[in-house]
Every structure is written in structure tokens, then in C-alpha cells.
Structure 1
Amino acid sequence: MPVAAAWPISLTASQRQRLKKAAFGHETPHQARIRAQVVLHAARGHSNARIARETGLHLDTVRRWRGRFSQSGLPALADARRSGRLARFTPVQVAETKALACQLPAETGIPLSRWSCPEPAAELTARGITGPVSASTVRRWLRQDAIKPWQYQSWIFIRDPDFRAKAKRVLELYARTFEGVPLGAQEYVVSSDEKTSIQARCRCHPTLSPGADRAMRVNHTYGRGGALAYLAAYDVHRAKVFGPTEARTGIEPFMTLVAQVVSQEPYASAKRVFWIVDNGSSHRGTKAADRLATAFPNAVLVHTHVHASWLNQVEIYFSVVQRKVVSPNDFTNLTQVRDRLRDVEDRYNATAQPFQWRFTTSELDDLLARLDRRTTDHQEEFSAAQSA
């Protein structure tokens, strides 16, 4: 029986380049790589039998892909479309699943605060929307639109009517400006706050240092050795920290902190020292500002708005303390905690540079515009839900 002649292959420069990229590319799927190699061998005039030997393929496989390329070119090297198994669920059922996941469970009569995939799967079956459906199938449907009803994110409306004015004053102080006038050489900006309830937790077994393929190990069981508060004042532009520890927070501990700072140079002879604080009970309102100005004439108290920890630079320093000093908490007693905080403060003052604060009044205006749009959207959604 005569053997059919091999299909002749002739490549253009563009086809050759694309086939080489497919045949030798590191990210090319194996099947596409093999098919491209078959065509390249055929373009060199090799017989089907030789190509089969060099590629390790069956002779019929080589004939198939050589013939497909000869008849239809590069598109023929892709897999043909297959009918596959008929879908068990209709697009309407998928859409109803997503609609159910976008409702709060309590609104549908389910006593849950949020969905996880097994619950909507069971609910779909109970309502007769679908037949039995697995949680993994529901998860795959929700993933198509990035719907994750098991997650939640908290948010808060701005309640302070003077939000922008207060935030702007703080941001301008960071940029060394107050009420439109640049600060002088004898004027300083200090960010202050309290870190409460730093505990001394004495682990029942010693902490093990890290080793090869082993993280630090901290025993879960501990004995309580008390707690203290860490008050800190951070010079924004000089990157200097002053931080006494106290048994508790309050007016007197805060005034002690201010006295510690303004009793030494360059603050003692400064024209003004601006103290940026939040609305904590130890320095809240006009009474606190008057009290501070009476005791220290060159001190000016500047309050942030409510929920403004993100605007107070000393919180960045507190985050460093939390990550590198307090966690994991393994202290024998409060004296060890005090000594550690004092040592890290000295280390920080010797090496630190001012924080690169990039949030300006322009970014503040952009943020307020976005919040205004989001607030409007939430109110419209809430009104629509109430009317429905």
C-alpha cells in the first residue's frame, strides 16, 4: 500500500518567529511546544518518521499536526472546540446565587451575620432555586464577580463639622506653617499621645531563639506582672522622642510629660511649642488648652478631630514600639518593661530620621471629595433598601 506523501511546509518570517517562541519559550504549555517543534522540523524538510523519532511522538500525531498546519496555518495548532458536558446550572440560577450572596443573611430570614459558601448553597436548595449544589461551586460562581460575602470592612462617617479645618491645621504644622505663616527657627511641633496597658507577661517557659527552618518560639502560657502606660512626645521635625512611663494616664501624667520636654533646650527658650494631641480625657477641650498655656506660656495645644489616630505622627512611633519592643510580650516584671522602653527610646533618638510625611492638604481635599461621593452612595443605597 503506497505511503501518503508528507505535507510540504513553507514558513514566512513571522510564522517562523512565532513558532520558535512557542517551541522554546519557558512559559509555553507542553502541548503547544510539541506542536510548534513538529512544524519547525517539517519546515526543514524532515520526514514524518524522522520527526517522530526526534520528538518521541507517534507517527500519526506528527502527520496530524503537520497536515493541520499545512491546511490552516497557525490557528490550526490550537485545540478544537469541544462540546463538553452539558451545564447542570443555568445562567439564571448563577445570577440568583450572586443576588442571594449580596443580601445580608438576616434580611432573608437566616440568623447569621454573614454568609460563608455552605450556607447559600443549602439555602439555594431549600428555596428550590437549584438542585443539590456544593459549596465549592458557589464559591466558583462568586469568584467570577469577586463577591466575598464572608468578608467585611468597617467604615465611619465624619462627624466633626470642623473636620477639614482641624486636619488642615495639623497638616500645615507638619509642613512648618501655622495660620498661613511659616514657623520660625525657635518654633517646634511635638506630637503626643499615650500607649496604655503595656503588660509584663512572664512566659512559663523561656522563649526560644530562631534557628534553621524554625521561627522564634514563644510559650503561650504566661503569668501577669502588671501593666503600665507609656506617654510619648515626638518632635516631628527633629525625630526626638521623650517618653516617661506611668502607672496610669490622666491630667497629671500628661502635664509631667510636657514639663519634661519644655524644661530642656531648645524647648525651654522656644518662642512656641505646638502640641498635637487627640481628644483623650487628659487633654480634651479648651480647659486643657488653657491649663497648658497657664503652666507653660510657650505651649500651644492643637487638637486633632475625632478618630484621627492616622493623623498623629507619634502613632507611627508607637507602631514601631508595638512591633519591635512589645510583641512578643515576654517580660519578667514592669521594671524590665520600663528599662526596655527607655533603651529603645535612646536607640531611636540616636539613629532616627523624621518620618517622610506625604499627606498634604491637597490629598486631604481629594480624600474629602471621595468620602463625600461614598457617603452619598451609601445614603442612596440605604434609602433604596428602606423603600424596598
Structure 2
Amino acid sequence: MPVLRACQITLSATERRRLKRLAYSHTAAYQKVIRVRIVLDAAHGHSNAAIARRRGVTVDTVRLWRGRYADEGLKGLTDRPRPGRPPRFTAIQVAEIKALACQLPAETSVPLSRWSRPELAGEVVGRGTAGAISASTVRRILATAALKPWQYQSWIFIRDPDFTVKAARVLDLYARIWDGLPLGDDEYVISADEKTSIQARCRCHPTLPPGASRMMRLNHDDDRGGAPAGARR
């Protein structure tokens, strides 16, 4: 049987400098660093077995990346695309899921202020967009988007020095507590608003739009501009 001979690697000065930078890079992927070092060892005339011992890999691994570099150069050291499992959802279904995430739940008659992943998955199935989908799949689909307008943070600049005391009284009422004592069964908390006019309000700070790796930010403080219209009877 003919003896298999290792592929000969001959590097130019430019190629050698480029490979050395990658071989000692602190940011390149570890797998690529090992492959580059295999090529450099091969260029120095080391055998496949000797390279395998130096780099802690198998001889077949050395033979693979040595041959790839000889045939394709540096681009041969990257992994080739793998088919993997075919996608379960079409591009249109993915787009519809992302569009639904951008809508307020109130627009779909869902009594929520913000979507949760399980609720969003249930709405997708309820609309017939997909026959079945899990909350974890919804999370993965939304995570692939570069812009995520459905995510936002809000902040408020508290200027009232007595804010804590005032807020505590309101929060206690939500919990049916007054002056540190729980309300009785025959005591009620009623919240009412006159709604005598339409308030002209604008935010003290403009909303910051979403961007790559940044969610939208909203400020809840507003300036009152009076009432543009009187009450209707």
C-alpha cells in the first residue's frame, strides 16, 4: 500500500506574520489558535505525529487542518456550515411573533401591562400563527433580533422630599392598611377621578428609542400644560 505523505506547507513572510499574530492572540477563538499553531508547526517541517503530541490533539485532527490550509489557505481553518435540524417556523411566522411582541397586550384584549413569554406563546397559538410553540422557543426567536422594541426600561427622578411618606400611605391602602392597622370587612377603599378635562401633558425627558443591545427607556415624569378642552356633559 502506498504511504500517505503529509501535505507540505510553505508560507510567505506575510502569511507567517499573520499566522503568528493569530497563534498568540488573546481574543481569537481557542480552536482557531490551535489550528493556526498546527499550520505553523507543519511549515517548520514537523510530522503529523510530532504536531499531535505538541498540541495535544489526534493525528487525524492535524491531518485535517494541515490539508485544509494547503488547499484553501487561512479560510480553510474555519468550520464549514452544517445543515443542522430544519427550522420549525417559517420566516413569516417569526416576523409575526416579533410583531405581536411589539404590540401592547391591551390592544389584543389581554389584561396585562407587558407580555410574558408564556402569555405571548399562548397568544401566538390562539391567533393560529403556529400550531404549538413553547415559551422557551419564543425567547430564542426574540433573542435573535438586533433591535428589541418590546423591551424597555423606565425611570423617574423623585423631587419631592416627602415622597416616601406619601407613597407609603397609598401603597398601604392598596394592601388595605391604614395607620398601620388592617381594614375591617366593612371598610372599603374607593379611588375616583373626576375626569373633568383632557390634560395636556408632555414628558420631562424624551423617550430614548431602542438600539442594538439597548432597550427603549421611558421617563414617567411629565409637565402639565393645562386643559385643552372643558368637560363634556
Measured against the shorter chain, the TM-score band is 0.5 to 0.7
Match of 2:161 among 195, 201, 221: 195
Q: Retained in 2: the 8 A contact 1:52–1:59? A: yes
* Distance in structure 1 (CA, Å) of the matches to 2:203 and 2:151: 28
Task: Note the alpha carbon deviations across 1:105-149, whole angstroms, 9 max, x for none.
Answer: 121121222212221111111222113222232223223143253
Alignment-derived partner of residue 56 in structure 1: 56
Alignment-derived partner of residue 125 in structure 1: 125
* Distance in structure 2 (CA, Å) of the matches to 1:59 and 1:29: 21
| Bigger radius of gyration | 1
Question: 5+ residue gaps in structure 1?
Answer: 156-192, 200-223, 225-305, 311-388
Alignment-derived partner of residue 46 in structure 2: 46
Question: 5+ residue gaps in structure 2?
Answer: 166-179, 181-200, 206-233
Alignment-derived partner of residue 138 in structure 1: 138
TM-score (norm 1): 0.39
Distance 1:87 1:309, change over 3 A: closer
Any residues of structure 2 matched to 1:332-347 within 5 Å, and which? none
Alignment-derived partner of residue 33 in structure 1: 33
1:115 aligns with 2:81: no
* Distance in structure 1 (CA, Å) of the matches to 2:27 and 2:77: 17
Kindly state the Cα deviation for residue 61 of structure 1 after the two structures are TM-superposed.
1.3
The amino acid of 1:105's aligned partner reads P
Kindly state the Cα deviation for residue 32 of structure 1 after the two structures are TM-superposed.
0.6
* Distance in structure 2 (CA, Å) of the matches to 1:145 and 1:6: 45
* Distance in structure 2 (CA, Å) of the matches to 1:81 and 1:197: 58
Name the structure with the higher helix share: 1
Alignment-derived partner of residue 150 in structure 2: 149
The amino acid of 2:16's aligned partner reads R
Secondary structure of 2:8's aligned partner:
coil
Identity %: 49
Task: Note the alpha carbon deviations across 1:286-315, whole angstroms, 9 max, x for none.
Answer: xxxxxxxxxxxxxxxxxxxx99999xxxxx
Any residues of structure 2 matched to 1:273-292 within 5 Å, and which? none
Q: Retained in 2: the 8 A contact 1:125–1:133? A: yes
Alignment-derived partner of residue 92 in structure 2: 92
Any residues of structure 2 matched to 1:211-226 within 5 Å, and which? none
Distance 1:135 1:65, change over 3 A: same
Alignment-derived partner of residue 73 in structure 2: 73
Any residues of structure 2 matched to 1:2-13 within 5 Å, and which? 2-13=2-13
Distance 1:78 1:308, change over 3 A: closer
Q: Retained in 2: the 8 A contact 1:114–1:150? A: no
Any residues of structure 2 matched to 1:165-244 within 5 Å, and which? 195-196=161-162
1:23 aligns with 2:39: no
Q: Give the CA RMSD over aligned residues.
A: 2.9
Task: Note the alpha carbon deviations across 1:242-297, whole angstroms, 9 max, x for none.
Answer: xxxxxxxxxxxxxxxxxxxxxxxxxxxxxxxxxxxxxxxxxxxxxxxxxxxxxxxx
Task: Note the alpha carbon deviations across 1:26-50, whole angstroms, 9 max, x for none.
Answer: 2222211111011000111111121
Distance 1:73 1:152, change over 3 A: closer
